[in-house]
Structures are given as structure tokens and as C-alpha cells.
Chains A and B, each alone.
Chain A
Amino acid sequence: MPLSISNFERGVPNQPWLKILVVALIMPVLMVMLLEYTLVKKGFQATVLDSAALWIEQRVRASTLGNRALILVGASRIQLGLDLSVLRDGLALEPVQLAVDGSSFFSVLEGLARDPSFRGTVIVDYADHVIQQGLVKDYAAGLQRAYEKRDKTAGGLAARAENILESIVRHHLRSYADGARPMTSLFERALRDGSTQQYLVTFPDRTRNADYTKVSMPDFYYSRVFRHSGLKPSLNEPVTTTQIDRFLYEAISQFGPADNRSFLENLTLLKVWVERIRQRGGDVIFLRMPVSGFVQMIDNQRYPRADFFDQVTSLTGAASIHFADFPEMGDFHCPDGSHLDYRDKKPFTKALVQELKRILQAKYFHENREYVGT
């Protein structure tokens, strides 16, 4: 007989197991209830997790919708600024949100261009610096790789069941709000006095709402401007907003335009992808989302429109929309300089739909096809 084989029976300790389990269970239940109560009192609400699984699920949809697909790629501006129901009703297309906070659209657009089953329309959240830097290995690129490498059957049943169960839990528990771990919710939100309120809410379709009345202004705005500009606040003593405004104005005025050579080279890359998508009956539209205040000033200084945005249509052949060209889109104010508040989401999308309709009608007319959204 092999050495390890012998009669085996695990000794079960003689303990009052039922009592142990009941008492043990009461502890986490009480703890969760207390944490949830505190978070409710502090105004937090439950949200879905903008996870890789959710992104991949939406990416799969993008390839199955045929020419009804309206894909949004880019970063937080388009994720916070466009209302999918308004797009759906206004354009009779099925919008899919693939924008990834803080990421480049390059990998995702390239993936769509390479995907033979994708035949839809892509709205690209245009950002000068993103085109300037070209293909990068960022989080969005990782998501695209994960989508391509996904085993089409692996985890099928289990992953779907887990997604459903997890979304039920996240739908009810504030401890997981905005993708936080309960540990973070406990120490950073529940126990800390004066913690930042929850101003972002993520929805199951991956859209997000930003409520800027919940953040401390103008500190929040200035921190965004400093981050966007790369400037370091060098004022040590308490200062007035007028002093900060003057400091920023003077510093940003000194910004020179960026060299647009790599930008123009990358546009030729984009042109190839645009053509591939068009060959399958799809289309690509570049959209410059609204910016305000010093963020707009920084972009104007660094990326003069004539050298950057205005080159997009001529060098890629894709249509482009700049918010400043349309009074109904240009009047929106971004509270943090870079993103729309959720109250402006619907009106901005409605204004955008008018221009998108015009572009799509022209395209369908050109291709002798009937556009159902008219």
C-alpha cells in the first residue's frame, strides 16, 4: 500500500457549532448595517462597478449591433457629457459607451477598425494631447487586449451569473459605491469627518453623472486647472481667488504652441482606421467636447485650433464637430473646467443630436441609403 494511503477521518471538534455560527454571523451583519447607515446619512448612493467585465460586455455588444451601433470612445468628457437615451431616441441608433476615464481612444478605435464584425458609427471624444501621443499602453489598451484575448466560452455561465449577482449586491450596498472597497468606504468615507461627498455615479450602461454641487468649489476647479496645466501652485500663504486667477492667467499666457508633427503623423494612422470602418459601412466622427475657463485657455494656447483640430477632417476624411462652432453647444459651462455637470447632459446631447443627424443624413444620402433616424 502506498505510504500516504490510510483510513482517513477528520476529527470534528465537539463544539456548540450552531451557536458559534449564529453569533459569528451577527457580527458582520451588524457591521454592514452600521456602515451602510453611516453612508446613507452622508449622502452616498449605490453604483455599479465600471469593471473590465462590464467594458468587455459593452464591447461585445458593439460588434453584434451591426450598422445600428453608435459607439462612444474616448475618456471622461464623453462618459460624463453624453446621454445615451437622448442619442438613442434622436438618432434611432443603439449607443454603446466604451469611453474609459483618463485613457486614450487609440487602442479601442484601432480594435474597432480591425474587427470585421463591427459596422457601426464611432463618435470619438477628441483630445489634442491624445492624438499627439498616439498609441499608448494605458488602461483602455489593456481592456482592448482583454477583450481580444477573452475566451469566448470561458467563464460563460459563471461569469454571467456572477455579474448578475454582483450587480444586485452593488445596486443595494453603498459600501461599494464608485468601485470602492468597503475598507475604503469605512475609513475614507464613514469615519472621516469632512470627507469628499460622492459626486460621481456610474450606471449599468457605463455612463456617468457628475454632480459638481457636491464638491468644494473653487478648490476643485483650481486643482483640475493646475493638474491640466502641469503648473505647481507656488503660493504658500492663503490667497484670494483673484490672486490665483491672475497667477494662472499670467502663467498660461506664456504657454507656447506644441509641435504638431507627431499629431499630424498620428492623423495618418487614424485615417487608415477611419477608412477601414467606412469600407464596412460604418463611420467615424470626431467630437470636441466643451471645456471652459482656464482649461480652455490652456488648450487654446498649447494646441491652436488651426494647427490641430482643423487638420482632423482634411487628413482623416472623418467629420468633426467642435462645440465652439455651435452656439447651442458652446454655451455650456464646465464647473471643473473640463466636464459637464449632469444637469447639462441632456440639453447638450440634444444639441449634439441635431448636428449628428445632419452628418449622418448627408452620409446616407451620399451612399443612396435611407437613414431611419430622419
Chain B
Amino acid sequence: MQFNSLTFLTFFVIVLVLYQWLPTWNAQKRLLLVASYIFYAAWNPPFVLLLLLSTLVDWHLARHILASQILSRRRILLTLSLLCNLGILGVFKYGNFLLDQFISVAHLIGLSYQPPQWDIILPVGISFYTFQSLSYTLDVYRGNIRRSASLLDFSVFISFFPQLVAGPIVRANHFLPQLESPKRIEVSSLGLGLALLIFGLFQKVVLADAIFAPIVNLVYAQPKVFDTFSVWAAVLAFSGQIFYDFSGYSLCAIGVALCLGFHIPDNFRSPYAANSFSDFWRRWHISLSSWLRDYLYISLGGNRNSVFRTYCNLMITMLIGGFWHGASWMFVLWGGLHGAYLCFEKWGARFQTRIRLPLLGQMFVVFLITTLTWIPFRASDLSSVMMIMERLFVFTNDYQSLDENELFLCLAAIGGTLVWHYSQRDFVFEERLIAWNWDRIAFMLGASMIASFLASGGDEHAFIYFQF
């Protein structure tokens, strides 16, 4: 069930009405749990069992970790949780990929091995809820959580439908306390929640799907038939598409949760206004980058050991972060490139130089490199990456060009995005809403709804991050 569907809008209205109508907080939480499982089952009913399994295993293991004072036992229990969660993720997300790699290696050493294809379906959102569930047992093991949540609260935390399939990845310390106090729908939360939902849908339907996606799909399908200018436009357009697609989803998730009285942290903070790569990762997919930092990078030793070890930790974290996005070497390459930029930046910071680019220049460089680094993220294989790179840097205008109107709209939208991110660099969205007059907010919302309606009705486009 996608946020930009009539099914979701109907489902959400029913949930809101029942949520407000139910007399007790426990009943409301049960409703949230049932609604979340229906939300997940609407995509593929059998896979709710995986969600249930993950929930039950981690809840039980966390209880035993909390109850045990013996370090070795706690370690075994944590290892069990890691094995179970990462095992499920490994089989369902990486099973086909690992089998293919095994066959390729066997062929390389002259073995003819052709097992039947496993044909495993990737359960939607598995990477998100697995990481969310894992963070709970890790926090319990580390002593950051000292009290066991009830099974109902923990189940709601893992399956909470607004952020179940594509994040933001919420931490237990953020969410479980919110389940302790009863909630009622309040006009102010509902108002802001709906406003965020409308702005999120605008980002997805109008900017990501109607303006950027057609150009990206056209050029990435056959980069060799397009001229240099068109390929540049498509590469820039993908920067816009991936941002608005995912940021739109996150905004919808935050808005829907807020309507129900829950507060979920931001996932994006004007990432294209970052002036360094470490700044970029503090602004892009914040819930994942902070998860990787807290549970992987720091666990590996972070920057507490030698400089070389720090670089290794950074690279491992970013490579795993890339691989988290999907079972493809292209994602690993993307993660590896970002890891290399972070290492280079850390290395460069050791030298005090007097020559520094102005802030706008730094932003431009980071945006440009980030944009070029999206190419392996979007391209199907390495040969397509090379073809696009060749088109970008070997000037040619003998080939096909994009439609001028589409091109203008796309470049204007990218330009607008950069200006918006620059102006928003040190603000969160709500601060803007406080500063605006009510009629301005109403106009923006109305215009967003009109634009979303006008752009609706095209091909179906699932949120890109659903596949991760």
C-alpha cells in the first residue's frame, strides 16, 4: 500500500476514525498493530509471518538479555538475535545474488555448477524493520534500554505502519516512551501531519514522478543515443528524483505518524546544501547513517584506534551501507565511493590550508560529486555507467536530444531545489511554517494538492526505497 494511492487514503481515514473512537489506550495500540499488519499484508500476506518472527525473536531475546547478568550468556543471546535477523535478511534479500556469485566463481575455476534458481521474492521493507528490530536488542545489550517493553508495545514499535516499509528507521528510545502515554488526535498535530503528508505527496507525485522520472527513465534506458547535454540533464534529474522520492516518502511517514500523535525524527535536512561529505551524511537518510554510525562504525572501533584503522572502519561501514540498499555490485560501488570521499576528507582535514572555497563553492563541489556518484546507484551495470560517463565528458551533439520543455522544467526544478536547500540549510521545515502566515500555508497546501492532481494518473511509480 503506497501513500500515493487511493487505497491508503481510504485505509488511513478508517484508521483515524477508529483510533479516535476507541475508548482506551490499549485498544488504540491494538488497533495500530492490526492496522500495521493489514498495511503490510496488503502487499503480500504471507510475509507478515516474517515480521511476526522478527518481532517475537527479538522481544524474547531482549528480555533474556535484560534478565541475565552473565556477560557470556548476554553475548550468546545477542549473537542469536544478529544471526536470526541478518539470516532472514541474507536469505530473502541476498540469496539469489549470493547464489549467482557462487556460480560465477565456480565457472571461473572451471566447475560447471548450475543449481536451480531460488526465485526468492524480496519482502518489501525488510531492511528497514530488520535494522529497527536489531537496534532494540543492541541497545538492550549495551544497557541503553534497562526495562523490557511489553510485547504489544514492542510489536507496535516494529510494525508501526507509517514508517514500516521505507523508514525513517526509528530507535526504541525514541518510540517506546511515546507508547506509554495515551494519545488523542489533536487539531494542531493533525493539521501539521496532514500538511506534511500533502507536501510529501507533492514531492513524490509532481517532482519525482512527473518532472524527473520521465527524463531519467528515457536516458538511462539508452544512454548511447543521447547527446552530452541530455545525459547531463538526466544525471542531474536523478539527483532530484531520488531525493524527492525518498524525502517525499519520509515526509508522508512523519506526517501520518503525527496525525496519530507520534513524533518521528527527520530523515533529510537539505542534503544538497552539504559543504562536505561528512555533512552530506548528516543530512541524507539520517536514520540509516546514524544507525550505521552508532551500531556499526562505533562497534568497529570508530576513530578510537589508529588513523589507518579509522579509514578501514569508514570504508567497511560505507560498503555495508551501500550493500544494504540492494544485492548488486553497483550499490557496493556507490557505497565504496562515498567511503573513499569520507576517507579523503578525513585525510585532507589534517592539513591546515589557507585556501578554502567559499561555502557556495564547497556546496557545489559536493553536489556535483554526489550527483555523479548516483550514476552507479541508478545504472543497471558497469557498462552503462561507463557509457554515461563517456557521454558526460566526451562532448557530442550529434545524438538525440530531450524535449526542450521537459528539459527546461527539469533544470528549473533542480535549480529551485538547490536554492531551497541553501535557504533551508540551517532550518527545519516546521520553523518555516511558524514564520509563515496562515493564508500562505493554506495557499501552498492548496497549490500542492492542485499540482498533485494535475500530475496524477500517469504510470504507477512505486517509491524507490521500497525495494531496499
Residues of A in contact with B (beta carbons under 8 Å apart): 1-5, 7-21, 23-28, 31-32, 49, 53, 151, 153-158, 161-162, 165-166, 169, 175-176, 179-183, 186
Contact = CB atoms under 8 A, between A and B. Distances in A.
A107 to B, nearest CB: 19
A15 B433 contact: yes
A10 B263 contact: yes
A186 B188 CA distance: 35
A334 to B, nearest CB: 31
Tell me the dominant secondary structure on chain B's binding face: helix
Given A10-B258, A21-B191, A166-B6, A183 B438 contact: no
Contacts of A18: 187, 191
B189 A12 contact: yes
Interface of B: 1-2, 5-7, 10, 41-46, 121, 139, 144, 171, 173-174, 177, 187-192, 194-195, 198, 210, 254, 258, 263-265, 286, 290-291, 293-295, 298, 430-431, 433-434, 438-439, 441-443, 445-447, 449-450, 453-458, 460
Q: What 10 A-B pairs are tightest by C-beta distance, nearest first? A: A17-B191, A27-B446, A24-B445, A2-B294, A158-B42, A4-B290, A165-B6, A23-B442, A13-B434, A28-B449
Contacts of A157: 41-42, 45
B446 A176 contact: no
Contact of A151 (B121, B171, B188): B121
Contacts of B192: 10, 12-13, 17
B6 A5 contact: no
Contact of B454 (A24, A25, A161, A183): A183
A13 B430 contact: yes
Contact of B173 (A5, A32, A158): A5
Nearest to A182: B454
Given A12-B189, A15-B191, A165-B7, A153 B263 contact: no
A181 B454 contact: yes
Given A10-B264, A14-B434, A21-B442, 12 more contacts: A2-B171, A8-B174, A15-B191, A15-B441, A16-B438, A20-B441, A20-B445, A27-B447, A151-B121, A154-B121, A162-B6, A180-B457
Interface centre among A9, A12, A175 (most CB of B within 10 A): A12
Contact of A154 (B44, B139, B173, B460): B44
A2 B450 contact: no
Contact of B174 (A3, A5, A153, A176): A5
Contacts of B460: 53
B44 A17 contact: no
Contact of B5 (A26, A53, A162, A175): A162
Contacts of A24: 198, 441-443, 445-446, 449
Given A12-B430, A14-B434, A23 B439 contact: yes
A5 B41 CA distance: 31
A13 B195 CA distance: 11
